[in-house]
Structure 1
Amino acid sequence: MPDNGRLSKPVEKRVSVSVFKNVIVYRIEPAWSQTLAEAEEALAKARFEPCGPSQEKSAGWVEPRGEANGPLVESIDGQWLVEYMIESKAVPGSVVRRKLDERCAQIEATTGRKPGKKEKKELKEDITLELLPMAFTRSARVAVWIDKAENRLVINSGNAARADEVVTSLVKSLDGFAVALINTQVEPAAAMANWLLTQEPPAGFTIDRECELKASDDSKAVVRYAKHPLDIEEVQKHITDGKRPTRLALTWDDRVSFELTHGMLIRKIVFLEGTGDGAAGGKKEDNFDADVAIATGELGQLVPALLDALGGEAAFTGAPADAAAPKPVAEAPTTTTPADAEAEEEDAPF
């Protein structure tokens, strides 16, 4: 166990586990009690279907193991794994505008009148539908972990809007399912500021060499440190001058390194040497169970330790099952932008 206040050294050796990279954690309403078979049947009604020729977007549940016609809910050591698939097609705006200008010019030339605002909107929609069959398709897969024993939901996403979409689909599909974002007694930004000022992180954690500080005044000034010692007066002065940590790199128990953000997003998760003994090597499909066991086993210990470090969890305030899904906390643009998260998640292997 690392000593409090010790800066962790850069660790090169990692375990090749790609199940979770950036996660948002939720608390599941304790009353939810569906069985594995019931959940499988419910998700099958929202199974993923590829986009049609004129369809802009399609989303639904796919087999986590990647095997056609396999289970939609995989249970490994009692942990449920599901996967959400999003497919979208987009026509470049510049192409639509060019086509629209051509149509408007043609109408003006033949009728002597300029199309109005409403007609232009209809023309734009028609052009988009015409071009969709030729548009490139983009896809993203989002891993979802349901820990029934601990009433915990973990979504592999750093994109708040995408996580919200997944939660909404779960709430609609699973009878009695309701969740709320994990809330802590101590605000993450306040805790991180204290750890940096005192250089005394909570037991079991070490402060690594990356952080971001942002001013709370109108200047919105941002200071970033990368691969840099953080036990220096300069960092402490920034904090005493009013800058608040928006993210801080930490390592837990010399087993998992990650970044904690002020919005309680756990980013850049890396499982370190020793967490996956015997799991490396072989083909991806052969390692699915081992990868899931490593990720859920380590995060299943890290998350409670992190909650304790933040003063414990606030009381659950879940929404009714038929209510709209709660919206995840959006990260500041300087921390995790939706574009960054999409780039990391798109076509990501489970």
Structure 2
Amino acid sequence: MWFKNLTVYRLTQDIEFAADTLQAALASKPARPCGSQELVTYGFIAPLGKGEDAPLVHQSGNFFLISARKEERILPASVVNDTVKEKVEEIENAQQCKVYKKERDQIKDETIQAMLPKAFIRRGVITAAIAPKLGLIIVNNASAKRAEDLLSTLREVMGSLPVRPVTVKIAPSATLTDWLKTGQASGGFYVLDECELHDTHEDGGSVRCKRQDLTSDEIKNHLATGKVATKLSLAWQDKLSFVLDDKLVIRRLKFEELLQEQAAQDGGEDALAQADATFVLMMMTFAEFLPALYESLGGEEMPASI
């Protein structure tokens, strides 16, 4: 239940979210297996519990939890191309004539259709939390592509979903670089022991440091030559540790033991109650953590309509 990576989106208009309405919308596009001739399917699954009766929306207070599953058949391009090449060579040798692009494309389509039923299937689940009172949708994934896939499918079933990635008024790399230069962050944040530095020149290099003293002369020398911080590991109020990048994506998020113990105590022995208690505590923590983070980074750039 604890989210590990955060890509955060700002609702640009006020939208009323209700569990029953959202449930009906998600139910219009449930996850399903790939058909024999389908490359990919995408749909919603129950975020908690199993079985047909498990709801597609889990609500706790003002927070909503949803999940989607992508199922795709994996056809390596090299395998397809090698098979097509063999078939083309067979035809050219048998008929003593050249196979041109149009016929080659047809052979490729036929090859893919023949291979699809036997292709390996890969499944992936992505989870998101909707916090209408905060005006945020928090996707538990560091990939912008996967987050956008979820949001576009949610927009499809809802009819409208005006969101955009959260942005701040000052370039995050500038703030991260300043924090690295001084060895101090602000707003209850603390610099830890990992960073990634990039040269701003077109052909400039990069440096990745893990478990290093970021106040060392080596790091200072890199900064002095013009490198900027594009990733920095941070902690917040002894509750969270994470790596923040210059796109405001939060990676390797870790909730400290005190929060985990509190969630375990609140949830008791029942698995669903335990998951619900964890979700509530996590979201209440985000309600404090994310505004504090954006404020420390210079303040959030708010949409004009909010």
| Pair in the same fold by TM > 0.5 | yes
Deviation sequence 1:124-173 (CA, Å, 0-9, x none): 11111111111111111111100011111101111111111111112222
Instruction: Work out whether 1:47 is the aligned partner of 2:30.
Output: yes
Give the partner amino acid of 1:19: W
- Cross-structure match for 2:14: 31
For residue 94 of structure 1, report the CA deviation from its aligned partner.
Answer: 2.9
Give the partner amino acid of 2:118: M
Trace 1:1-350 onto structure 2 (pairs within 5 A).
18-69=1-52, 70-280=54-264, 285=272, 287-316=274-303
Query: In structure 2, do the counterparts of structure 1 residues 33 and 283 end up closer, same or farther at CA, with 3 Å as the change threshold?
Result: closer
Give the partner amino acid of 1:298: T
CA contact (8 A) 1:32 1:176 kept: no
Deviation sequence 1:228-256 (CA, Å, 0-9, x none): 11112322232232111110000000110
CA contact (8 A) 2:31 2:44 kept: yes
Query: In structure 2, do the counterparts of structure 1 residues 285 and 53 end up closer, same or farther at CA, with 3 Å as the change threshold?
Result: farther
CA distance in 2, matches of 1:61, 1:268: 25
CA contact (8 A) 2:17 2:132 kept: no
Give the partner amino acid of 2:191: I
* Counterpart secondary structure, 2:263: coil
For residue 283 of structure 1, report the CA deviation from its aligned partner.
Answer: 7.5
CA contact (8 A) 1:185 1:312 kept: yes
* Counterpart secondary structure, 1:279: helix
TM-score normalised over the length of structure 2: 0.93
CA distance in 1, matches of 2:209, 2:100: 53
What 5-or-longer segments of structure 2 have no aligned partner?
none
After TM superposition, the structure 1 stretch with the greater mean CA deviation from structure 2, 248-257 or 224-233, is 224-233
CA contact (8 A) 2:187 2:293 kept: no
CA distance in 1, matches of 2:152, 2:304: 17
For this pair of structures, how many residues does the alignment match? Answer: 301
CA contact (8 A) 1:31 1:176 kept: no
CA contact (8 A) 1:276 1:294 kept: no
For residue 86 of structure 1, report the CA deviation from its aligned partner.
Answer: 0.7
- Cross-structure match for 1:13: none
* Counterpart secondary structure, 1:301: helix
* Counterpart secondary structure, 1:164: helix
Query: In structure 2, do the counterparts of structure 1 residues 238 and 283 end up closer, same or farther at CA, with 3 Å as the change threshold?
Result: farther
Specify which structure has the higher proportion of helix: 2
Deviation sequence 1:254-293 (CA, Å, 0-9, x none): 1100011011101110001111224349685553212212
* Counterpart secondary structure, 1:276: helix
CA distance in 2, matches of 1:236, 1:283: 51
CA distance in 1, matches of 2:122, 2:189: 38
| Greater relative contact order, per chain length (Cα 8 Å cut-off, separation 6+) | 1
* Counterpart secondary structure, 2:133: coil
- Alpha-carbon RMSD: 1.8
For residue 66 of structure 1, report the CA deviation from its aligned partner.
Answer: 3.9
* Counterpart secondary structure, 2:175: helix
TM-score normalised over the length of structure 1: 0.82
CA distance in 2, matches of 1:94, 1:165: 26
CA contact (8 A) 1:212 1:245 kept: yes
CA distance in 2, matches of 1:115, 1:175: 47
CA distance in 2, matches of 1:106, 1:317: 63
What 5-or-longer segments of structure 1 have no aligned partner?
1-17, 319-350
